[in-house]
Structure 1
Amino acid sequence: MYGTRWFDALETPRKALVFLHGRGQASRPAQAMAQRLVMPDSILALPEAPSHSWYPASFLSAVAMNETELEASLRYLEEVIGKIVDGGISPDAITLAGFSQGAALAAEFAGRKLRAFGALIAFTGGRIGPWNVRWPEDTRLDNMRMLFSASARDSFVPLKRIEETIEHFVQRGATVDVLSFDDSDHCVREEEYRAALTLIA
């Protein structure tokens, strides 16, 4: 069952951060990552997927292998962002962020543009689909800011897919910052947090 933990802003709320956990990631580590990014005037939303998995197979699998759960996760994320907007936060003041599988879901949500929002932060993740996929969307994303960061030799998320995702978003007008690291660590580094905070601020 999906659920969301909500954290109030320390100051008058003007922004919101929605952070999506990785596959199998417990709530406490995901919260610790998110709190590195939240600003004093930001509401923090931490959606949680059933069994801590947004979809069952690899993000590079055939669409049919993930479709049912992926569609449900995207719908739930749409509901979460809708509640933030209904609460008075402007869509362009919402940052959607995630790590690993959560980053892939965030990128897919941005790619399908289910709801407009201000910024995307994808720590080790790219859009979903098999190799040679051609994402059909071409709506403009000129006002969106994005950060993609990952290891060049990550065993779970090939850098090539992240590069394909970045190319797709740049073609649609998004402003994209990129960080890559010459290691194989599946983590978020201090430099990535700093870059993300700069983008949010």
Structure 2
Amino acid sequence: MSADRIDGPHQDQQLVTSGTDLADAEAALVLTHGRGATARGMIQIANEVHREGVAFLAPQAAGQTWYPNSFLAPVERNEPGRSSGLQAISDAISEANDAGIPTERIMLIGFSQGACLASEYLARNPQRYGGLAALSGGLIGEDLDDEYPGDLEGTPVFLGCSDVDPHIPEERVHDTADILESMDANVTKRLYEGMGHGINEDEMEYVSGMVADLVDD
């Protein structure tokens, strides 16, 4: 274990795999579920956008919750869950890398709490990724600061959310888009009128196109 590695509540949880077998895959999706949900539920969502050659890696949160409080709370109030969740994403990416899949062919997909975690991971670990789809989520913290140095090198990012989501303020979606764009991500942002907290067909269609791009180029 490296000195900076986090060993927290989510590190002894199962990594659920599906899709194309990792040994045969040329791309991978790292899937992070929402509060009270499961890794297997994210696998079911990913099945709707699967392409041949794409492996699925879905970490499971201990107690089905990545961190205890709102993502808008001060960061320290969501530790150690937040950092442990970020480590779970890192571990899944490493597993894909070890199978020969480069990070630029690895896409992060998260819903709700998992979308917040995936957004945060991308911003805190900038490089070229296969993509980020943050569905009903945004960057974590009470106040977003300037501690997001680095270059995402044109990583495609999709932010989809309701304009009246009870958990995700519209303003945080805009702020997340602005920060990721400042880091040279290629951001597409869509706010859906009156949708509530969920995933719609337009989002799934867009994400499906992003997944296809992982293996079609």
TM-score relative to the length of structure 1 = 0.93
The answer as to whether partners of 1:118 and 1:143 remain within 8 angstroms in 2 is: no
Matched, 1:172 2:183: yes
CA distance in 2, matches of 1:54, 1:114: 21
Structure 1 199/123 Cα, relative in aligned 2: closer, same or farther at 3 Å?
same
What residue is the counterpart of 2:108 in the other structure?
A: 96
Runs of 4+ in 1 over 4 A off after TM superposition: none
Give, in angstroms, the shift of residue 29 of structure 1: 3.0
What residue is the counterpart of 1:154 in the other structure?
A: 165
Kindly tell me the number of residue pairs found equivalent between the two proteins.
Answer: 200
- Please give the residue correspondences for 1:1-201 in structure 2 after superposition, counting only pairs within 5 Å: 1-9=12-20, 12-113=24-125, 116-130=128-142, 132-201=143-212
Give, in angstroms, the shift of residue 184 of structure 1: 4.0
CA distance in 2, matches of 1:157, 1:128: 11
Once the two structures are superposed, what CA deviation does each residue of 1:141-189 show, in whole Å capped at 9, x if it has no partner? 1231100000000001111101100000101111011111101421110
CA distance in 2, matches of 1:144, 1:184: 27
**DSSP-derived class of the 1:82 partner:** helix
RMSD: 1.7
CA distance in 2, matches of 1:111, 1:19: 17
TM-score relative to the length of structure 2 = 0.87
CA distance in 1, matches of 2:137, 2:175: 11
Give, in angstroms, the shift of residue 6 of structure 1: 1.1
1:193 counterpart letter in structure 2? M
CA distance in 2, matches of 1:40, 1:182: 34
**DSSP-derived class of the 1:102 partner:** helix
Unaligned runs of 5+ in 1: none
